[in-house]
Chain A
Amino acid sequence: MAELTYRDAVARAIAQEMTRDENVVFLGEDVAKAGGVFKATVGLLDKFGPKRVIDTPISEQAILGAAMGAAMTGLRPIAEIMFADFIAVCYDYIANEFPKTRYMTNGQVGCPLVVRCGGGGGSRFGAQHSQCIENWVMQFPGLKVVSPSSPIDVIGLLAAAVRDDDPVMFLEHKSLYATKGEVPDGEILDRLGTAKILRAGSDATILALGMMVPRSVAAAERLQAEYGVNVEVVDVRSLVPLDTQCILGSVAKTGRLFTVEENPRVLGWGAEVVSIVADEAFYDLDGPPIRITTPNIPLPAADQLEDMAIPSVDRIVATIRKSLAA
């Protein structure tokens, strides 16, 4: 058992999988010699050499296209798209190529690959380097979408993503890279499609993802300590596949649902979840499901503006108190 940062967990996960399977290769911009702009892949070049850890040109389409061709013919590539926002310049592969290949070819060929990227706000980078892009990628049948909130989940879910036979979008959060957590020694392997109840509660359910997970846990602790409200916090972790049973089970227990989403409001992942709960658990609800999101605006750069935009512990606490009249 050792304390590890989320950042170091990325490198450990990639190393674990590259050691296990020589078909795992890793490519991206500045990932090899520089160890990544977020320093999440330091040491991999030294350990595995330039044939397996590759610095690419600034060519996001070449990165994802090459990963796809390699995956179709037997390799297990991990491709890094540095900032999640850059997914927009290689969106064809996400939207049209990876997820449709298996279906269109009637199962002849698949794309077992992982695309990692660093998303999310809190770094004052402005509107083009701060976005959470879950809602850009979870709409395509055939694609899987995972977003870890802790070092141990980074390792376990990244390992599961690499071993999965479908294309997986692995959404890391930039503001979590420096956070720490206990991680056991040895191989770590988790399962895609599983949510995790981080804090049990009886009065309301919070569903959260990425950086919204630690904020939701902090909000739940304050609600308990200051207002006697006992909130269950579920880390959704995997949007596709979605662990609907865990979510419905929690809502059945608490009767109230709050989603905490960093993405701008329109068509955020919580909208789909709320729709499922409305369809399948309407009579378990004691009040309306409430989505706590970034408003529908581009993210600003300045401290006070960005802080106001992204759901904060204060906003989560205030919204839940108001709704529960606590």
Chain B
Amino acid sequence: MAKVTPPAGKSGALPPNDDIGEAKRLELYRLQVLLREAEQRAFDLFLQNQIKGTSHLSLGQEAIAAGCAAAMQPGDLSFCTYRGHAHTLARGVPVEKVLGELMGRDNGLMRGKGGSMHLTSVEHGVMGSYAIIGAHIPIACGAAWRAQYKGASDVSVCFFGDGTTNIGAFHEGINYAAIHKLPVVFVCENNLYMEYTPIADVIPVKYPAADRASAYGLERILIDGNDADVVYRTMLKAFAKARAGEGPSLIECLTYRHSGHSRADPAKYRPEGELEKWKQRDPIKIYRERLKSFDFPDETMAAIDAEIKKIIDDATTACQAAPTTSTDILFTDVYADGGWAWRN
């Protein structure tokens, strides 16, 4: 089977004063650190049994969520998967709301009615996290169809993993977007493993999304998903194309998850040394070096690190102090009238 290795590092190879600019670079760094620390905290709280159920962490994949969110505009819509904490936080949803949801507290994003796999914040453009593989690909098409129909300028972004590329809804949805030139961007986070099985074991091509793009008349786009600058630049182009009415993009980002598929998975199926090799290409490490190469002082990064640590700590304390969700919401919002009555 085709072997995918980490892309070669290019830290420090870019000229100073490039297209991205100082403010955006600091935003990208800050976002990645925020996502890393929030996920690490979620993991710790799981180990302490303060978070129940399951969780699917994005540790190691932060550059994708950060690079995409930094390129999005207010009003653009995110459609995430059950591995959606990072994409939700990246759109500006407060850490407390996300941790609170994971902990089943009343301050949670959906007051505990959705849980880790269904984070949704319409006010931030996060139109849901979908836990059935591939279901949200056609749904994102529908939101993009509405934008096209109404003449609105927003773009819908649909995130999914490598495993999604083998389910029917993936092919139905991307075909549908392509024939109608819908303003939607499909972002495949190829972290090399579906759940436990390597994606390479179950596909006849090397790259599960990029190598299938031609079937829908789309450009083959394969990028380093651990370099936030690369992600950001690629997304800017895709969004511009979508807003110009030129249709969807399918972008495959190569990355690696540092933890297992879910809380239950210690990821022992990995070959020895693979994780260490990818950790050399840790997106945050890459980005810190990048900033240094642009002569950002260490103190700037240290100040951001400290600010993030305080945000995570404060959010954790707030969630631990928050009441558990009141049981009176058990029967609310089944139907649009606010209740659950299915008969008179």
Contacts and interface: CB of A to CB of B under 8 A. Distances in A.
Answer yes or no: do A and B interact: yes
Contact of A57 (B139, B169, B172): B172
A112 interface: yes
A108 B101 CA distance: 14
A108 B121 contact: yes
Given A72-B143, A108-B122, A166-B335, A62 B172 contact: yes
Interface in A45-61: 51, 56-57, 59-61
A68 B121 CA distance: 17
Given A56-B176, A103-B334, A62 B138 contact: yes
B140 interface: yes
Interface stretch (B41-49, B110-118, B242-250, B276-284): B110-118
Contact of A75 (B120, B146, B156, B333): B146
Contact of A51 (B120, B130, B149, B175): B149
B343 interface: yes
B336 A165 contact: yes
Please tell me the size bucket of the interface on A.
35 or more
A307 B291 CA distance: 77
Interface residues on B, range: 35 or more
Interface in B142-171: 142-147, 149-150, 156, 168-169
Contacts of A103: 113, 333-334
Contacts of A105: 110, 113-114, 118, 120, 122, 128
A125 interface: no
Interface string B319-344: 00000000001001111101011111
Contacts of B175: 57, 59, 62
B20 interface: no
B135 A93 contact: yes
Contact of B149 (A75, A104, A106, A112): A75
A21 interface: no
Interface string A240-272: 111111000000000000000000000000000
B113 A106 contact: yes
A73 B114 contact: no
A69 B343 contact: no
Nearest to B170: A61
A110 B332 CA distance: 13
A109 B336 contact: no
A193 B343 CA distance: 7
Contacts of B169: 61-62, 65, 92
B120 A66 contact: no
Contacts of B145: 66, 69-70, 75
A105 B121 CA distance: 8
Interface in A64-114: 64-75, 77, 92-93, 96-97, 101-110, 112
Interface string A183-218: 000000000010000000000000000000000000
Contact of B142 (A65, A104, A242): A65
B342 A141 contact: yes
B33 interface: no
A64 B113 CA distance: 24
B55 to A, nearest CB: 16
Given A62-B173, A66-B176, A106-B113, A241 B142 contact: no
B141 interface: yes
B77 interface: yes
Contacts of A101: 128
A164 interface: yes
B336 A166 contact: yes
A142 B335 contact: yes
A25 interface: yes
B89 interface: no
Given A72-B128, A141-B340, A243-B344, 7 more contacts: A61-B135, A66-B142, A66-B173, A69-B79, A69-B146, A71-B142, A276-B343
17 contacts: A61-B173, A62-B176, A63-B138, A66-B141, A66-B142, A66-B145, A69-B139, A70-B142, A72-B127, A72-B128, A73-B147, A74-B150, A75-B149, A104-B120, A108-B110, A241-B343, A244-B344
